[in-house]
């Protein structure tokens, strides 16, 4: 299966939003052969950069719950994460 990162959308750090302060740094759109999945989240916490699959948020017992929209085998998930993180650093390096 061919995996391609189609887009990386960086979060503006100057806004000091709650999302940025929580570690959210960008969103990624990833193409798997003919299937495009949008809005993987890219987080950076304590020098560690990683991605999270798109999810839906709902309230349960007054708390936000997150449910992933995409499920992948661990090996594929690791490959996708590596591609997203690599693309993120390439885009980040180009930004002044």
Look at residue 46 in the predicted model and tell me its pLDDT: 86
Domain carrying residue 55? 3-94
Domain count, the chain: 1
Identify the residue with better confidence: 85 or 21: 85
**Span 42-46, mean pLDDT?**
91
CA separation for the pair 43, 21 (Å, rounded)? 10
Which residues are CB-neighbours of 68 under 8 A, at least 6 positions away?
52, 53, 54, 55
pTM for this model (two decimals) = 0.86
Tokens of 87: 């693309």
Tokens of 47: 């020098």
Cα 46 from Cα 53, distance rounded (Å): 20
Please write the tens of the pLDDT for every residue from 45-66.
888 999 999 999 899 999 989 8
């Amino acid at each position: 299966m061919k995996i391609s990162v189609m887009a990386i959308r960086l979060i503006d750090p100057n806004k000091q939003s709650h999302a940025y302060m929580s570690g959210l740094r960008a969103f990624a759109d990833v193409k798997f052969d003919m299937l495009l999945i949008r809005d993987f989240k890219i987080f950076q916490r304590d020098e560690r950069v990683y991605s999270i699959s798109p999810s839906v948020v709902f309230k349960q017992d007054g708390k936000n719950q997150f449910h992933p929209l995409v499920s992948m085998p661990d090996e594929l998930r690791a490959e996708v994460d590596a591609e997203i993180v690599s693309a993120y650093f390439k885009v980040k390096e180009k930004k002044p």
